Chain A
Amino acid sequence: MKLDILYFAWVRERVGHSQETYETSAATVADLIAELVARDAGYAAAFADLSAICVAVDQELCDFNTPLIDCREVAFFPPMTGG
């Protein structure tokens, strides 16, 4: 399955880019994170503290157990600071 993965704020800075297309067979968000962390130190640093990471699947906020079936876009970011 091909996914667009987006990164924002300090997650983007640690990973080193804002967007990528990624081929994966990960079943859930948590599986995807495990694959990414294994890629290089930047990803490992970005995902070192999962309590500081939020995720949206197809632009809806969700949690790490969310399945990735038929999903097209996953975004990782720190807790939001709007307002």
Chain B
Amino acid sequence: MLARVQEAAFDFAAEVTAFQSTLTRSGAVVSFTGLVRDDTGSLDHMFIEHYPGMTYAALQKIADQAVEKFGLEKALVIHRYGRLQPGEAIMMVATAAAHRKDAFAGADYLMDYLKSRAPFWKKELSKDSATWVAAKDQDEAALAAWSSESAAKES
């Protein structure tokens, strides 16, 4: 639906307000933003690499799937790349639906798919180390849970 890939920071509050102002049939908006987290207190910055030729289409596809699956009126995904400081916002999603359950589930679904199906790679850089963030088994398990849920509904 609405997807953006950008290096620049975004204004979370302004994005949610703008998103909300275009709605015509929703009673619920859920928004989420992910920040650069410093687990050890030694993170200097994070570098996010992406696949420019593929990223936008991947975000668009994930957002479209969420809209379809949960009957959302609209979904918004903004994801940044490049150099980010601890505490900076990396990405955000917003979903709008008639009722809150679909809006929450839609946002949760978007986040699970963005984690492992959007072509971004995070590198954590500290004074004396540079480490690529590894994908977790639980990320794939989360996707499997969404597809087994759909299979259960269809059968």
- Interface residue ranges, A against B (CB under 8 Å): 6, 8-10, 56, 59, 61, 73, 75, 77-83
Contact = CB atoms under 8 A, between A and B. Distances in A.
B53 A80 contact: no
Contact of B135 (A56, A59, A73, A81): A81
- Chain B contact residues: helix, strand, loop or mixed: mixed
Interface string B39-52: 00000000001010
Interface in B62-120: 79, 90-91, 111, 114-120
Contacts of B135: 78-81
Interface string B118-139: 1111110000000011110001
B106 to A, nearest CB: 15
Contacts, number: 67
A80 B54 contact: no
A59 B54 contact: yes
B120 A82 contact: yes
20 contacts: A6-B51, A9-B49, A56-B51, A59-B54, A59-B57, A75-B54, A77-B51, A77-B121, A78-B121, A79-B116, A79-B134, A80-B116, A81-B122, A81-B132, A82-B91, A82-B115, A82-B116, A82-B120, A83-B34, A83-B118
Given A9-B121, A9-B123, A83 B114 contact: yes
Contacts of A78: 121, 132, 134-135
A80 B48 CA distance: 11
B91 A80 contact: no
Given A56-B51, A79-B134, A80-B116, 6 more contacts: A9-B132, A75-B51, A80-B120, A80-B121, A81-B135, A82-B120
B57 A80 contact: no
Given A75-B51, A81-B133, A8 B111 contact: no
A79 B111 CA distance: 16
A73 B114 CA distance: 23
